[in-house]
Amino acid sequence: MSTLPPSSHPARPAVSWIGLGIMGSPMSENLIKAGYDVTGFTLEQEKLDRLTAAGGTAAGSVAEAVRDADVIITMVPASPQVEAIAYGPDGILENARSGALLIDMSSITPQTSIDLAAAAKDKGIRVLDAPVSGGEAGAIEAVLSIMVGGERADFDEAKPLFEALGKTIVLCGPHGSGQTVKAANQLIVAVNIQACAEAVVFLEKSGVDLRAALDVLGGGLAGSTVLTRKKDNFLNRDFKPGFRIDLHHKDMGIVTDAARTVGAALPVGAVVAQLVASLRAQGDGGLDHSALLRAVERLSGARV
């Protein structure tokens, strides 16, 4: 019998997936479709049932999920959740085997990623921070943009796995770089959604056919992935969460704090961060971030 560790075999590495939310569930399912053995853990039984129905294996704890994994992927809401599953006697670092590759695809602070990589190194565990952009639709369609921080050799090893999840896959620099780029991404997306929302209200109050206007705007310089992806949300006032305001509020906090640390002024970003916070304070935190339209409508005198 071979004594080589599992990752040395030519077969695809065994994957542990922690966090099966709006993004994590379809992403883990795409790995299963690509031929990976995926063992998952999350707190909600119905999401574990979904994983097993897709061909994965449900685990009863983080420790159980990661024990035999070659690659461990985490996709949870924020830094506190990453720290909760990574550290402590029942966490990833105490239970994963030496040599495993931990890929955190959550959107967290760059410093949290840097600290995690340092702590994992002491355990012989390699780390990549690899947050994504593309929302629920991008996760389902496996066309995410994946921005990665870490060592080149680890990135190269993970590349086939990333290719089952996304289309634009870039190593951005050392640990924390992926999270820094993701923060910039969330800044751009929030400002773009806010601009689109303001345009929608302006167009409707001017009596213009909104669908026609958005079609022609989408074909010109004003066109963007945000406008393409969110057009139907605006037209139908459909704010079912693909990416919740609560999460974008968290991300705007990350980018404004990080920008302050490096001395970068974000005048427009700061205003949009406050608009996101205001929408959340009005009880709309569980809605899709395209619901920034509701805030503009309220400011414009509409009852929403």
At 214 the pLDDT is: 98
Distance CA 204, CA 206 (A): 5
The reply to whether 133 and 254 lie within a common domain is no
Distance CA 198, CA 89 (A): 49
Distance CA 82, CA 255 (A): 18
Residue 39 located in a structural domain = yes
Which among 173, 192, 217 is the end of a domain? 173
| Number of domains forming the structure of the chain | 2
Give me the domain span that covers residue 194: 181-299
Tell me the C-alpha to C-alpha distance, in Å, between residue 282 and each of 99, 157, 250. 47, 45, 16
- Over its length of 304 residues, how does the chain's per-residue pLDDT go in tens digits? 333 344 443 479 999 999 999 999 999 999 999 999 999 999 999 999 999 999 999 999 999 999 999 999 999 999 999 999 999 999 999 999 999 999 999 999 999 999 999 999 999 999 999 999 998 999 999 999 999 999 999 999 999 999 999 999 999 999 999 999 999 999 999 999 999 999 999 999 999 999 999 999 999 999 999 999 999 999 999 999 989 999 999 999 999 999 999 999 999 999 999 999 999 999 999 999 999 999 999 999 987 7
Cα end-to-end span (Å), the chain: 67
Residue 121 catalytic?
no
Structure tokens at 269: 């970003």
The reply to whether 13 and 131 lie within a common domain is yes
Distance CA 164, CA 144 (A): 10
The reply to whether 157 and 186 lie within a common domain is no
- Enter the pTM of the model: 0.90
Dihedral sign, CA of 8, 11, 12, 14?
A: negative
Catalytic residue among 182, 230, 231, 250: 182
At 303 the pLDDT is: 76
The reply to whether 138 and 156 lie within a common domain is yes
Distance CA 99, CA 72 (A): 11
Distance CA 280, CA 266 (A): 21
At 213 the pLDDT is: 98
- For 259-292, give the secondary structure using H, E and C: HHHHCCCCHHHHHHHHHHHHHHHHHHCCCEHHHH
3-state secondary structure (DSSP) of residue 62: helix
Strand partners of residue 71: 15, 101
Could you give the angle at the alpha carbon of 255 between the alpha carbons of 291 and 190, nearest 5°? 25
Residue corresponding to tokens 């077969």: 11
- Assign residue 74 the CATH number of its domain: 3.40.50.720
Residue 304 located in a structural domain = no
Distance CA 278, CA 51 (A): 36
The reply to whether 27 and 158 lie within a common domain is yes
The reply to whether 153 and 46 lie within a common domain is yes
At 6 the pLDDT is: 42
H/E element, 57: strand 57-58
The reply to whether 24 and 148 lie within a common domain is yes
Which among 124, 143, 173 is the end of a domain? 173
The reply to whether 282 and 138 lie within a common domain is no
The reply to whether 125 and 201 lie within a common domain is no
Residue 217 located in a structural domain = yes
User: 248, 280 in Cβ contact below 8 A?
Assistant: no
The reply to whether 158 and 13 lie within a common domain is yes
Which among 173, 206, 237 is the end of a domain? 173
Residue 271 located in a structural domain = yes
The reply to whether 132 and 251 lie within a common domain is no
Packing angle, helices 292-299 and 267-279, rounded to 10? 90
Residue 270 located in a structural domain = yes
Residue 1 located in a structural domain = no
- Assign residue 243 the CATH number of its domain: 1.10.1040.10
Full DSSP string of 66-94 = HTT-SEEEE--SSHHHHHHHHSSTTSHHH
The reply to whether 149 and 51 lie within a common domain is yes
